[in-house]
Amino acid sequence: MTRTAEEMTAQWRIEPDHEVLETPIGTIRKGPLQSRKSLKRKDFYFFDFPDWVNIIARTPDNEILLIRQFRYGTKRMELEIPGGMIDPGEDPIAAGCRELLEETGFVGKNAKIIGRVCPNPAIQGNSCYTVLVENALRTADPRPDDMEEIDLLRVPEQAIDRYIKDGLIEHGLVLNAFSHYDRCKNK
């Protein structure tokens, strides 16, 4: 007999955690976990981040908007799609449209969620949504955050696969977003 996820989860004793570090982008928490089967107990760390959103914005000329910005984790410029944190209580579609406008100055039509992933369930509980925006047009100047220095690229849609194959796009959540986009196109 196959057990459900809830039945398998019940084998673990999850005890209350506590805050270890609070940062502007999230909180690190630590808490004990005990296996009911082996009775082994260990402290685990949890990165309590808000949900995120990534935006695939397609122009009327079938271009995809990409951005290049410095990322502290890799200590280099990364080629990505617009995206960011979802504010508390904010709808993922609204957050995606807000981030697109802030980072690129573009707005579009028919915004919809085409996918959602758990970025790293081993240490995080948040989700990253992919929002597709069509007919994106520039309507304003970008208004990036204080430490965002963003270069905007308009890339022909048919070149995206080559960018991925050539390793120009390596950001895992951006690759997930394009996977969602490919499935959405093939429906």
- What pLDDT is stored for residue 34 in this prediction? 87
pLDDT digits (tens, 9 = 90+) for 16-39: 899 999 999 999 999 998 888 888
CB atoms near residue 10 (< 10 Å):
11
> Residue 67: how many CA atoms within 13 Å on its side-chain side?
25
> Residue 77: how many CA atoms within 13 Å on its side-chain side?
10
Mean pLDDT over residues 109-131, rounded?
97
pTM of the model: 0.91
Phi first, then psi: what are they for 174, rounded to 5°?
-70, -40
Mean pLDDT in the chain?
A: 93
Phi first, then psi: what are they for 117, rounded to 5°?
-135, 160
CA distances from 84 to 21, 30, 145 (A): 21, 25, 11
More confident residue, 9 or 70: 70
Rounded Cα distance, 40 and 160, in Å: 47
Residue 74, pLDDT > 80, answer yes
- What pLDDT is stored for residue 80 in this prediction? 97
pLDDT digits (tens, 9 = 90+) for 170-185: 999 999 999 999 998 8
What are 112's strand-pairing partners? Answer: 132
Contacts (Cβ under 8 Å, ≥6 apart) of 47? 26, 27, 28, 29, 120, 123, 124
- Angle (nearest 5°) at CA 85 between 170 and 127: 70
Q: Where are the domains of the chain?
A: 5-48, 52-185
Mean pLDDT over residues 109-129, rounded?
97
- What pLDDT is stored for residue 1 in this prediction? 59
Please name which of 72, 82, 52, 79 lies closest in space to residue 142, comparing C-alpha atoms: 82
Pick the CATH number of 52-185 from 1.20.140.10, 3.90.79.10, 3.20.20.70, 2.60.40.1180: 3.90.79.10
